[in-house]
Amino acid sequence: MPQNATTVAPVDSNGVGLYEPVTWHADTKTWSGATKEEYDAAHPADTVAVTPTADQQAQAQQMLAMANLTNQVAMLQKTVATLMVQNADSKEETKNV
């Protein structure tokens, strides 16, 4: 193993992972890291609002319409199949009377 390596896992005293920056303390053979609050302060959430273009909005609307139509077709196919079975059963009952 290299001189600058360790087998000690980079966790705190509770066995929980650490926030960057993580530092190795060779004298105590321990790791330390930033607190969650320090890490969050150093890495603020991305606040840039991305607005889709008109083309992207139109494409999204078309995709939604296509998905809705596909769903409607599937439902209609099931309905037609059910009606065909009912019609066949009705014809069979009429024959047997």
Q: For residue 46, what pLDDT is reported? A: 64
Q: For residue 82, what pLDDT is reported? A: 97
Q: How far is CA 70 from the centre of its chain?
A: 23
CA distances from 68 to 18, 65, 74, 91 (A): 46, 5, 10, 34
Domains in the chain: boundaries: 1-45, 51-97
Taking the C-alpha atoms of residue 21 and residue 47, their distance in angstroms, rounded to an integer, is 23
- Taking 90 as the threshold, does the pLDDT of residue 62 lie above it? yes
- Taking 80 as the threshold, does the pLDDT of residue 30 lie above it? yes
Taking the C-alpha atoms of residue 60 and residue 10, their distance in angstroms, rounded to an integer, is 45
Residue range 15-21: mean pLDDT, rounded: 88
At 57, give phi and psi (nearest 5°). Answer: -65, -45
Taking the C-alpha atoms of residue 8 and residue 15, their distance in angstroms, rounded to an integer, is 11
Which of 7-11, 44-48, 74-78 is the least confident region?
Answer: 44-48
